[in-house]
Amino acid sequence: MRPRTAQCRDEGGAVTVFFVLLVVAMVLVAGLVYDGGRLLAARREAQDAAQDAARAGAQALDIAAVRSGTTTLAPADAAAAARAWLASEGASGSVSVAGDTVSVSVQQPVRLALLALAGVPTRTVRAEASARIVEGVTGAES
C-alpha cells in the first residue's frame, strides 16, 4: 500500500494543464465576443457608407433633362458624387451607374485584437447598396 502523499505527487501537473487549457479557451471566447462586436459595428458602418454614397449619386440629376420634364441621371456626375461621398467617409469601394440606378459596393478591412493571437489578424467586411431616382418627380409647382 502506498502512502497518500505519493498519490498526490503523481497527479500534480494535471491541474496546470487543465488551467492552461481553460485560460486559452476563455481568451478565444473573449476574442469572439470582442472582435465579433467590432466586425458587426464595422459592417454597419460599411452599409451606412454604401447607402449614403448611393443616395448621393442618385441625386446627381441631368439638369437639362429635368428642365425638359424628364428625370434622368448624369452618369459621370452620379459616379463622381458617390465616389466623393465614399472619400469623405474614408471608405473604399466601387461605384457603377446603370440607367437610373447607382450601385455602390464598400470593402473595409478590420484589424482584430484578440483573435490575432489565434492567427486571424484581419477580416474584410463588405456591404452593397443601390439607389435609383423616382420617375415623374418634378420641382415645386407654383
- Note whether residue 140 is domain-resident: no
- Note whether residue 58 is domain-resident: yes
The tally of domains found in the chain comes to 1
- Walking along the chain (142 residues) 10 residues at a time, the average pLDDT comes out as 55 77 89 92 95 90 72 84 92 90 94 87 95 62 38
This prediction has a pTM of 0.73
pLDDT of residue 142: 34
- Note whether residue 22 is domain-resident: yes
- Note whether residue 137 is domain-resident: no
24, 33, 36, 123, 126 from 40: Cα distances, Å: 24, 11, 6, 11, 11
Q: To the nearest 10°, report the CA torsion of 28, 33, 36, 40.
A: 180
- Note whether residue 139 is domain-resident: no
pLDDT of residue 117: 83
- Note whether residue 59 is domain-resident: yes
Q: Range of 11's domain?
A: 4-132
- Note whether residue 78 is domain-resident: yes
E strand residue ranges, the chain: 92-98, 101-111, 122-132
- Note whether residue 89 is domain-resident: yes
